Every structure is written in C-alpha cells, then in structure tokens.
Amino acid sequence: MAGTVLIAAVMFVALVGMIICSKKQKASPAAQPIAIGLLVVVIVCGVLMMYKTGIFGDTNNFMEIENRYYASQGNVVGKYVNSNFAGKKVLVLMDNGYENSPRTKILLDALNEGAGGNLDIVADTLTLAKGPNQGNELQGFEMPLFEVMTAKDFDAALEKHKDAGVIISTIGLPRDVKAMRLWTKKDRPNLILISAADMRGYDALIKTGMVSAIVAVGPDAKFTEDAPPKDIQKTFDIRYVLIDEKNVEQYSGMFR
C-alpha cells in the first residue's frame, strides 16, 4: 500500500515539473527534452498505479477510499458556506472536462450534503480568450486551467453568473490575480478556494477579505490507503485544513 502512495507522489512531482518545463520550452530549448522525459515518468507511474491497484489490487476499494477523502473537502466547505453565507447561490468553477468527470458529482453532492441540502449550486468552467492551451501545448497535452487562465478569463466566467453570491474555485486563481476586476466590485461574491496549486501570498487575500477561505493539504497531512474514519470531519482533518481569517496566522508558513 505504501508503494502505491509513493508512486502517486512521484507522479505528481513529475507532472508539476513537466508543466513548468513546458512553459519555459520556448525560451530554453533544453526544457523540451526534460519535459518529454518527465512525461515518460508520468506515464510509467500511471502504468505502475494500474498494475498495483488494478491487476493485483482492489481498484474499486482504492478509488472509494480516495473519493471519501476528496468528498470530505466538499462536505466541510458546504457546512462553512451554510454557516456563513446561507441563502446565496453557489458557483463552482472546475477544470476542463468537468462534465464527464465522476468527481464532479462527488464534490457537488458533498457540498450540498454538508450544507444540509440548502445550497443552490451550479458548476461551470472557464473559456480561455486565447484558446485551450494559450500557446503552451506540449505534445498534444492540454494544460490545466490554473497554469494558463488569466484574470480576464476568470472575470468573464463570473460575469456569466452574476447572481452567484459564493464562488468556489477548484482551479485556484490566475497568476495575474491582482488584475481581476472582481476586487473592484462593491458587492463582490464571497470567494473560497479548494486545492489551490499555488498559494504564495494568498494569506494577504484572506486578511483583506478578498478570499473568505482556502482548503488545502495540511502541513501534517497523512496519505494512507487505510479506510478513513466514518466521521467526515475526522476524515477531512487527516489530509486537509480550512484556512480563513480566524486561523490564517497559524498557517502563515503555507503561503510562502
């Protein structure tokens, strides 16, 4: 079991490295072969994961455990929204292809369950002004939105849902976050981030009230293949933390 977790960790690091190299390949030709090498590592790790959890393991059990951890984020955020922003429509921003991802339903159902069924939820994604990859293609690999979206793209998505009083972003914020028109609105929606890839400096966004809360992997997170507790909050606490204005100083090290 520990081997599967290690493979997953290596796969994640290789994927992040591949994305970074793909962004630099135009300026540095040497970055392209490195990116391709890391892509091979990702593929090999994927095959090993299938080998360990599919052929000789119980794939359904592994996925069920991972889905319970994933869902715990939605459940806790649902409770948070219901306690702090009850009655407001909720927009959940997700990555490309969210309509066909089984995790979409898992997260949305958990959000609503955590709020006691009181949420009006709609899911959507971003339409990029410069196309799906914005010039950052890597051998046909589509870059995740958090790498290529801009403030203009993010603002455009919110403009489509002006009636939403709460925005839950599972794709973080654009790198040119300071250019977002959202910050200038007098009656701007409450913003919550789930699994933000890069949180450097985001503590300032919480302290100034621009971001209401962030759910992130905690500094003491434990990744285990053992079945999580039946208590959803305890399941959440094993891997994640919810950071808002009340505890942002406690987790200041996570924003550097």
- Kindly state the tokens that stand for 115: 């709020």
Residue 100, φ and ψ in degrees, nearest 5: -100, 5
Model-level pTM? Answer: 0.76
Alpha-carbon torsion (52, 54, 58, 62), positive or negative: positive
> What is the tens place of the pLDDT at every residue in 103-125?
999 999 999 999 999 899 999 99
pLDDT score, position 90:
97
- Kindly state the tokens that stand for 214: 């962030």
In this predicted structure, the answer to whether residue 157 has a pLDDT above a threshold of 90 is yes
Q: How far is residue 249 CA from its own chain's centroid?
A: 22
Q: How far is residue 19 CA from its own chain's centroid?
A: 16
Number of H helices, E strands in the chain: 8, 6
> What is the tens place of the pLDDT at every residue in 6-55?
666 666 666 666 666 655 545 555 555 565 566 666 676 666 566 555 54
Q: Mean pLDDT for the chain?
A: 83
Residue 66, φ and ψ in degrees, nearest 5: -65, -40
User: Within 10 A of 172 (CB to CB), how many other CB atoms are there?
Assistant: 23
